[in-house]
């Protein structure tokens, strides 16, 4: 129980410290999984030690049981051989084995219960680790999506929008130049039309004069009217 409580306290302290420092979520998740793996390794070692202690007590208990049976059989053999002195000595040894067996029994039972409880807690800790590993990729993906969403939101809210503002301003300048060019084209077109009309008038006057001269040369003009 003690080691698992200490592992939990250390793990919680590390998590709280990481959150307080506002570390990168992805790095923090990976670090948390590493710390959980280290905790599982420490807990596995503790369970192995508890099991080793249980097995050692079991062997001692079994030896005490066999010893008392052996000394009792030796006491019977001594009596059958009319050796009460040996029988008495054997029974004294048996009494020692009995005390050892009776003393070791409760200790062994306690060790067995402790190792079983530690095994259950280790299984729970391993299950938590597997759950953390399976959720790690999902949480990292959510973190990356949140970062992207934050960047987009900042762009729309004005943070980091300088490039967009400059682009719009440049587009406005181009539109202004296009409007000015169109206006000059229109003015140029109006001036051209006016010049053409004057040229047409001049051309028409010249043609009329040439026509009269040709008619006069050919004698096609009517005679001038007399004043009388």
Q: Which two tokens stand for residue 138?
A: 């999902």
pLDDT for residue 1: 47
- Rounded CA gap, 59 and 112, in Å? 13
- Rounded CA gap, 50 and 52, in Å? 5
Report whether 122 contacts 47 (CB < 8 A).
Answer: yes
- Return the closest-CA partner of residue 101 out of 143, 66, 130: 66
- Residues 9-61 have pLDDT tens digits of 555 555 555 545 546 777 888 888 888 889 899 999 999 999 999 999 999 99
**Count of alpha carbons within 13 angstroms of residue 38, beta-carbon side:** 12
pLDDT for residue 225: 67
- Please give the DSSP secondary-structure letter assigned to residue 221: S
pLDDT for residue 90: 92
222: left (phi > 0), else alpha (psi -120 to 50), else beta?
Answer: beta
Tell whether the model's pLDDT for residue 84 goes beyond 70.
Answer: yes
Reduced DSSP (H G I as helix, E B as strand, rest coil) percent helix, strand, coil of the chain, to 5: 90, 0, 10
Any residues with CB less than 8 A from the CB of 137 and at least 6 apart, and which?
Answer: none
Predicted structure pTM score: 0.51
139-155 core/surface letters (b: 16 or more CB in 10 A; e: else): eeeeeeeeeeeeeeeee
- Residues 134-181 have pLDDT tens digits of 887 787 777 778 778 877 777 666 555 566 566 667 677 777 777 777
pLDDT for residue 171: 72
- Residues 184-207 have pLDDT tens digits of 667 666 556 666 666 676 666 677
Average pLDDT in the chain: 79
156-181 core/surface letters (b: 16 or more CB in 10 A; e: else): eeeeeeeeeeeeeeeeeeeeeeeeee
- Return the closest-CA partner of residue 36 out of 8, 16, 3: 8
Tell whether the model's pLDDT for residue 70 goes beyond 90.
Answer: yes
What is the arithmetic mean of pLDDT over 121-133? 88
Any residues with CB less than 8 A from the CB of 143 and at least 6 apart, and which?
Answer: 25, 26, 29
- Rounded CA gap, 198 and 201, in Å? 5
Share of the chain above pLDDT 70, in %: 70
Report whether 29 contacts 136 (CB < 8 A).
Answer: yes
CA–CA distances in Å: residue 25 to residues 101, 150, 152, 153 = 57, 14, 19, 19
């Amino acid at each position: 129980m003690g080691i698992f409580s200490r592992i939990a306290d250390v793990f919680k302290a590390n998590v709280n410290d990481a959150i307080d420092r506002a570390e990168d979520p992805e790095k923090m998740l990976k670090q948390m999984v590493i710390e959980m793996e280290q905790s599982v390794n420490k807990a596995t070692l503790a369970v192995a030690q508890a099991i080793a202690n249980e097995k050692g007590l079991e062997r001692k208990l079994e030896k005490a049981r066999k010893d008392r049976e052996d000394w009792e059989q030796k006491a019977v053999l001594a009596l059958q051989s009319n050796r009460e002195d040996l029988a008495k000595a054997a029974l004294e040894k048996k009494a020692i084995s009995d005390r050892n067996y009776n003393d070791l029994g409760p200790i062994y039972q306690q060790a067995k219960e402790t190792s079983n409880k530690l095994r259950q807690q280790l299984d729970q800790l391993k299950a938590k680790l597997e759950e953390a590993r399976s959720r790690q990729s999902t949480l990292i993906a959510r973190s990356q999506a949140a970062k992207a969403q934050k960047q987009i939101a900042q762009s729309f809210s004005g943070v980091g929008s300088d490039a967009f503002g400059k682009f719009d301003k440049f587009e406005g300048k181009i539109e202004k130049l296009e409007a000015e060019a169109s206006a000059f084209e229109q003015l140029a077109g109006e001036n051209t039309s006016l010049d053409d009309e004057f040229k047409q008038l001049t051309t028409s006057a010249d043609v009329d004069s040439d026509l009269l001269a040709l008619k006069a040369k050919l004698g096609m003009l009517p005679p001038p009217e007399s004043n009388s």
